[in-house]
Structure 1
Amino acid sequence: MRKVALAVLLLICIQHLLTGCNIIQTNSQIGEVDKISKMQQKLDNISNEQQNLKKEIEKLNIQIENNTKELLRQTEYFTNKKYIVGTRVFGKGSKVLTIDNITIILKSDNNILVETENNKIEIKNRYNADENDEVTLKYAEISNDSQFLAFTVEAHASEKIYLVNLKLSEYNLISDMEIVSKPRWSPKENTLALSIGSIGKEKLGIYYPDIKEIYTVNENFISIIDIKWSKSGEFIDFIAEKTSDKFSIYRLIIESKKIIKIDNMTIEEVRDWTKKTNEKVNLSDFAINGVEIFKTKYEQLVRSFGEPKKVNKLNDKNLIILKGYFNIINYDGIEFTMYCKNNDFDLEESQVIEIDVFNNKFHTNRGIKVGDRVEKVVKEYDIQKFYRFEYNDDSHINKRVIEGIRRDKFSLEDYDYYTYIYHPTVPRVLIFLFKDNILERIVIRHPAAD
């Protein structure tokens, strides 16, 4: 019996011992779970902090991007008005560029003649183009002090810049590299920014004409799209393509020669940044010597131009717009069509509805006149498209507007092509008609009326 009792007692002790171990193990497990829970909570907190931090970073990036865009909008760039851009009309490039009484002529043998008011400079062109290659003048710009002329010649899908010292009547080719283009003069001194290199591998360069040396930035780009000097002359901003179809704007600090990337740019932003003129079309553009259509009365016309040479009366009730009575007012080189609302030919009650200009005594509000070259018109109005004179595929202008009828001498004139600008909200159109790349006629009128 005693042995049995001892055995039972031993079993009870073992059971208590095992129960204690289980309790210890359970407590230990609970402690581990608690640790894991706390660690998970810490991880959750860290994750939340990371998410919050990520949101803050995104906000900062947006703020930086907005600040960068605002910085670019506020940047004042130097605007050198002494430049001209070559124009392609139906595939043909410019052979003549005129800027500030200086004419650059690409001759039939592809050599170049620069004519100033007092001198002629013959330039032996380094391009050896065959008969299938077109050589054209692409761009020209005069330095701020008018001492130097830089112009670009294009052929064989490559470009060269010639530099002419207008005071000394000397010239030189800046470089024999395949691509030397986009010459832009500094606003402060005779320093020329440019793009230099080969196709698919361009660098920003700075040329010093006084010592005939060129500095190039040690960074390659697929292409450099455009270059602008700051108004202070302390830095140059330029848009470049670093990887295919990815555009960014960079800044070169002149003193340190340090280059920094400012921002990425979309195609639309590139187009806006590279525009040569920021002037928008407004109602004042639809005027000749200050005379606007749909505003000017006969009395104002006489004050501006004197008594007319001739007044013709026209009664046409078949017109869709402005049916009735018209006075055709003739001066030498300009004609005004006036409309009278009162069913008679009362000049005092008439107003100008069309202006037709034939000579260079009269000009648009941006200074364009008959006799100007097409490149000058393109520069002033940022013209993007031309139309053959015999064909009209655009709905903005009635075909009859550009038929070439000259009422002042009862003749039908022939032109090569035309272009125009029109007001986006008010029915006004300014038409330029050309022959041999020279502006022959300017018309301002309603875009659709017969």
Structure 2
Amino acid sequence: MRILLGVSGGIAAYKAVLLLRLLREQGHAVRVVPTAAALRFVGAPTFEALSGEPVSAEVFDDVENVQHVALGQGADLVIVAPATADLLARAATGRADDLLTSSLLAARCPVVMAPAMHTEMWEHAATRANVATLRDRGVHVIEPASGRLTGKDTGPGRLPDPEEIARVALAVAAGPAEPVTDQDLTGRSVVVSAGGTREPIDPVRFVGNRSSGRQGAALAAAARARGARVTLVAAHVAADLTDPLVAAGVEVVPVSTTAELRTAVRRAAVGADAVVMAAAVADFRPVAATEAKIKKVAGQAPPSIELVENPDVLAELAAERLRAGQVVVGFAAETGDETGGVLEHGRAKARRKGADLLAVNAVGEALGFGTEVNEVTLLDEHGETVAKAAGSKRQVADAIWDAAVARMTAS
């Protein structure tokens, strides 16, 4: 892969050297394009020695090859690390006053920016507006890490580790399997929950389920691709699913228990046009978790674990509607039994929960949880079938958003 590595002028520029070495070791061709300020932190000979390519910050170098356009045109991926507040501002306003910003305007490949600056600069309204502008244009801006900054300061604004930047950037470059071009969620704010909650029994055991979070992650990715501002409340969802979402501008809120998920979802739902509860939420939790691991004692019966019912987060959201006109979508992972089939149980649950839409899917061995594909029947609040969807989890996600957008438009 042909990677353009932009480096702007912050103290974290030294980490770009580590990122460059990492990308080269993985077999990628890397051309470093620093700003003039970046070269005051790390000299051109260092970048040239590690990349094997010339390094310049000047538009007027190599004019005969029109490199201020050619570099961007020829890249398969652009990474800017660190991206200072100044670089974000210049990129957001379309400035082309040096080789890096000119190359950014010419690039038509994925662009990933890893900001690094002091906390006050990162949290300033101007920076947040610039980041929002870039994300709306399709630039993948990674959230900075929290930790030690220059001097005695600590807080959010630290450049993520080079390994993290490389992993996210390469995942973004791989691209979604099924890109969506419809922008019918532009200007909308949505909340998606994903994964499976875990209720602790003792320090090493828990009551949980087999949800991987793939369907919820697909719903978040689809919503973002359709233009929405997305918050993903993620219960034990693997980093390889959330990293590309963070790079795409999705806010990921990690949680563990049902109580934590409930708090995070309700907080985000106050300003949301739609809430999709795709997480597999534990129905029960132990009354109390022990502080020490429960030991197996020979000759003694295993201890009994008393359970108590968890709050019904979906039913609460459907009943309260934390924002006027909010569309609430739930999931029902069902198995048939002697009292009825999957769809019968789903219809009863749809009427009981009161959500606008309920996606009913069968679960079991190689069904639903942990798979790459899914099949759902969408029911309305009366238990009537609205639509059916089958295929990859991204295809199912888009079908669900099609139905949810129709509800938003009608309200």
Q: In which range does the TM-score fall when normalised by the shorter chain? A: under 0.3
Larger Rg: 1
- Of structures 1 and 2, the one scoring higher in RCO (CA 8 A, sep 6+) is 2
Q: More helix by proportion, 1 or 2?
A: 2
Normalising by the residue count of structure 2, what TM-score does the alignment of the two structures yield? 0.23
